[in-house]
Structure 1
């Protein structure tokens, strides 16, 4: 039996692409650097291969890890295909583009451009927080604008976190891992799906939880908080039992402006109805502060 979650070896041909090397693993996918045989360009390919549900057989096909997982794997693959098709229709400068999607090895493959830059999560680990107000706004205003488009299309991302934000030249952000996106009009509006401790609000942990645009808003607030104090916030289920998250307006009042601290606390409210109800509501609250002369001086001074 092949090892679970075995990556495709370098040189493997998949469609019109040749695998160069594996570069990342997600809960539902394996991610590779590859080259396009037709153009010679480098691309990133995401292979649908959910952890625990799937393994690779001798012919490199993605098959159920056990017979009890067959139905779940088939259902997930079908949804992955449907959702990527929907995402391919999204055009936004801060949402990763879907170049192609195809089926092979009994699974699905999503092809994206290989964008040069750095990962916000990795950058945070190096810097240990303390990122400037101007840097935070420079990154998260475009991210919120991208999420606002998803929310207007009745979609939610459900896995917003620093590790899913790619920083291109000039800190222009790119929202990644759109394979986790869930259309709300397909009966998938309940929790119990993708979880990232510290960034997923409590409703995401339970099947009965009602997820929606407000779920992404919590994750944005938690991501900004991490940029400020350099550590992942307390996981939501633990907060529900004993909330140890000191409000940002208290913990960070000497380091960041009040409007930003209030926005973070608002976004990270435990009760969904007490948060901004979608990305646009939070965006509208933050946008007026971009014209703040103090922030303009910070930007001119070369923040982060």
Structure 2
């Protein structure tokens, strides 16, 4: 009988990488710290291992927990391979970089560089909100620049949140957990994907929902507001029933500049059509409040992308756009 969804044991070889220890679990993957046997360097490996339909057999292979799930597992692996291939083509200093992709044990392994730093979600928990305007721009301007590349490449992240932002030295951010990345089909796709309460807009909850770049924009707005207040915004389905979320321009008017609060409120509009339609549109508004030196520093001079997924599961066009309307 197949075992439960167990992690690979330390010492297991995956290609030329030897597993050191498991460091995280998610709904669709297991994440490990591993060592490159050739260079001796540390890497992070994400193994496709969906929780609800797969387990590991005695030969370490990833197999369906029931024959009825065989097709589901095969389809999921196919999507995982497609997403990794698409991500490997992305080159951005604030997006995780793909070092290798390995097929082994009847599943796929995404290999990424390992880099020290801290998680924005954990840092926010320690600070309990109130992060400075300078800090927020240092983090979210590059993140929006990275998302703008995703959106121009007809891809969505669909799980932007503080826990998926890694802070390297000097608060240089890295967008993590691209396992949720979803390719756009004809510019639109249906909802029903990964959900994170407070960060996912209402269209993401339902299979009939039309998700798009505007969906990621909502999540950025929610992440910014969380960094300001220290608590997650009211979940979108609750807002749809009774919206008790006081506009940031009102609730935080004495603590942050009006342009930033207006951008947050614009991003958190319930109607997708009333939000910035992609990351580049929101980026254009925020970047208009930076001088050329600041903008160049935040969007062009970060080091080569790499990732530290410790405890975490899965160059922009500065387009002219209208200011938020109120």
Contact map agreement 1:131 1:228 (CA 8 A) in 2: yes
Contact map agreement 1:192 1:205 (CA 8 A) in 2: yes
Cα deviation, residue 111, structure 1: 0.3
* Distance change in 2, residues 1:186/1:102 (3 Å): farther
TM-score by length of 2: 0.87
Counterpart secondary structure, 1:46: strand
Moved more, 135-144 or 99-108: 99-108
Answer yes or no: is 1:240 the counterpart of 2:240: yes
Contact map agreement 1:269 1:275 (CA 8 A) in 2: yes
Aligned position for 2:285: 285
Aligned position for 1:216: 216
Cα deviation, residue 242, structure 1: 1.4
Q: Which runs of 5+ in 2 are unaligned?
A: 293-326
- Greater share of residues in helix: 1
Aligned position for 2:58: 58
Report the Cα distance in structure 1 between the residues aligned to 2:233 and 2:60, rounded to whole angstroms.
39
TM-score by length of 1: 0.93
Cα deviation, residue 44, structure 1: 0.3
Aligned position for 2:320: none
Cα deviation, residue 7, structure 1: 1.0
Cα deviation, residue 65, structure 1: 2.3
Cα deviation, residue 3, structure 1: 4.7
Alignment: residue pair count:
292
Report the Cα distance in structure 1 between the residues aligned to 2:187 and 2:93, rounded to whole angstroms.
29
Query: How large is the Cα RMSD of the aligned pairs?
Result: 1.5
Cα deviation, residue 187, structure 1: 9.4
Aligned position for 1:4: 4
* Distance change in 2, residues 1:226/1:4 (3 Å): farther
Aligned position for 2:178: 178
Aligned position for 2:191: 191
Report the Cα distance in structure 2 between the residues aligned to 1:281 and 1:229, rounded to whole angstroms.
24
Report the Cα distance in structure 2 between the residues aligned to 1:266 and 1:72, rounded to whole angstroms.
38
* Distance change in 2, residues 1:267/1:187 (3 Å): closer
Within 5 Å, give how 1:25-40 maps onto structure 2: 25-40=25-40
Contact map agreement 1:182 1:188 (CA 8 A) in 2: no
Report the Cα distance in structure 2 between the residues aligned to 1:11 and 1:177, rounded to whole angstroms.
25
Cα deviation, residue 24, structure 1: 1.2
Report the Cα distance in structure 2 between the residues aligned to 1:221 and 1:79, rounded to whole angstroms.
28
Higher relative contact order (CA 8 A, sep 6+): 2
